[in-house]
Amino acid sequence: MFASVPGLARAVLSAGHDVVVFSGQDFYTDRDSVAWSGIELRCFPRRGPASFGYLPALRRALEDTNCDLLHTQGLWMYPSVASRAWHRRTGGPLLVSPRGMLDPWARRHAAWKKRLAGYLYEDAHLHAAACLHALCASEAEAFRQYGLHNPICVIPNGVNLPAEPDANEAKSEPPWRDRVAADARVLLFLGRLHPKKNVTAFIDAFGEVLRRDAALARHWQLVIAGWEQGGYEAVLRDAAISAGVARQVHFIGPVFGAEKVAVLRHADAFVLPSLSEGLPMAVLEAWAFKLPVLMTDACNLPQGFEQQAAARLPLEAAAMADSLQAFLDQDVHELQSMGDRGRALVEARFRWTRIGIEMAAVYRWIIDGGAPPPTLWTD
């Protein structure tokens, strides 16, 4: 949610709504505040376990705010408790964006904790919502499978199109330049290092492909960019050693701002082998930079396959290796054409300006009533 929620807030602000963001403080608050420039941001100290995110001052702050609608992002934490308390006290409407957290794989992860949270507060919070926000049709279906009967709007994440590089940016080097040959081709993974991203299985497939095809082994390197969670980077490093590709897999840590732009500009292709996603910002950003994409069905972007902006990555091990080999074996012009189609898809459907207008229409419908917006999902 690091990129998607600030992007949505800014898009809604541009569409004519006043926006106030309530959030918890953590070690990265000062650094992350740059992403919220131009938006009123109120941050509160956390107490207790980070996994619950208890914010003692949030409940009173919400009650003291004269807002017309409260839009909650994510589930299973204290803001759900505070949001429902605000709704019960003021009668104001709630819009809830689970952000992929009700998908079947996500619910199975730490399942007993989520069942307990659902019983204690989350189910009541969800049922109280005037509307639920799904990023895609499959997420809307997951809401119904969970037993929710609220109205649902289906509005994807968005992305801003990058400007053409200026002279200084054009000269910038990617962070892997000191360990990857200048003539090598880079397959990029960019995202949180977490088991649901399925990168261990992908490293195994990458190793299998390089063993099969000496030409691909000479030309392709895998760069993994992202912040780790729970020591998972060590697991991935061990996987690279076990697969025999420790020299072809490079970990560059989290990237932000100009460094992230350099990573996307200098990569040759992008991969997201996830087991579960809402609607991944990383793929939209890759398309915005004209990168060809290899992704699983779990990324919930079937438009990419339909428009030939992405190749499908199966989850079964042998099929994953076959698909990866076919993807990497394409010539430069084929991959560039795929990336161009991705850029065209983003321009047509996933720009933040369009997303902001669609979400603003949902807000007006919740607050004022009238005809349902066209993004309302019918099942």
Domain span at 339: 167-349
One-letter amino acid for residue 351 of the chain: R
pLDDT value at position 32?
A: 74
> Which two tokens mark 305?
């396959």
pLDDT value at position 166?
A: 62
pLDDT value at position 23?
A: 93
pLDDT value at position 28?
A: 74
HSE toward the beta carbon, residue 300, CA cutoff 13 A? 24
Is residue 378 assigned to a domain?
Answer: no
Are 262 and 227 members of one domain?
A: yes
Instruction: State whether the Cα torsion 326-328-331-332 is positive or negative.
Output: positive
Rounded distance, CA 262 to CA 171, Å? 10
Are 72 and 211 members of one domain?
A: no
Are 287 and 181 members of one domain?
A: yes
Are 194 and 240 members of one domain?
A: yes
Are 210 and 337 members of one domain?
A: yes
Are 58 and 198 members of one domain?
A: no
Rounded distance, CA 43 to CA 87, Å? 20
Are 238 and 308 members of one domain?
A: yes
- The CA distances from residue 87 to 119, 126, 129, in Å, are 18, 12, 9
CA 16 to chain CA centroid, Å, is: 25
Are 136 and 222 members of one domain?
A: no
In sequence order, the 6+-apart residues with CB closer than 8 A to the CB of 9 are 19, 21, 36, 39
Are 134 and 212 members of one domain?
A: no
pLDDT value at position 289?
A: 97
A 10 A CB-CB count for 66 gives 7
Outline where the chain has alpha helix (H).
4-14, 29-32, 58-63, 78-90, 104-108, 111-117, 123-127, 137-145, 167-171, 199-212, 214-219, 232-242, 257-266, 281-288, 302-306, 317-328, 332-349, 352-368
Are 210 and 313 members of one domain?
A: yes
pTM for the full model? Answer: 0.89
Are 24 and 122 members of one domain?
A: yes
Are 150 and 196 members of one domain?
A: no
Is residue 330 assigned to a domain?
Answer: yes
How many domains does the chain divide into?
A: 2
Rounded distance, CA 170 to CA 112, Å? 50
pLDDT value at position 29?
A: 78
Contact assessment for residue 141 and residue 102, using Cβ atoms and an 8 Å cutoff: no
Contact assessment for residue 244 and residue 360, using Cβ atoms and an 8 Å cutoff: no
- Three-state SS at 125: helix
**What single string gives the DSSP state of each residue in 83-100?**
HHHHHHHH---EEEE-TT
Is residue 200 assigned to a domain?
Answer: yes
Instruction: Residue 259: give its domain's CATH number.
Output: 3.40.50.2000
- pLDDT tens digits in sequence order for the chain, 379 residues long: 667 899 999 999 999 999 999 999 887 777 777 778 889 999 999 999 988 999 999 999 999 988 999 999 999 999 999 999 999 999 999 999 999 999 999 999 889 999 999 999 999 999 999 999 999 999 999 999 999 999 999 999 999 999 876 656 655 788 898 899 889 999 999 999 999 999 999 999 999 999 999 999 999 999 999 988 888 999 999 999 999 999 999 999 999 888 999 999 999 999 999 999 989 999 999 999 999 999 999 999 999 999 999 999 999 999 999 999 999 999 999 999 999 999 999 999 999 999 999 999 999 999 999 999 999 997 7
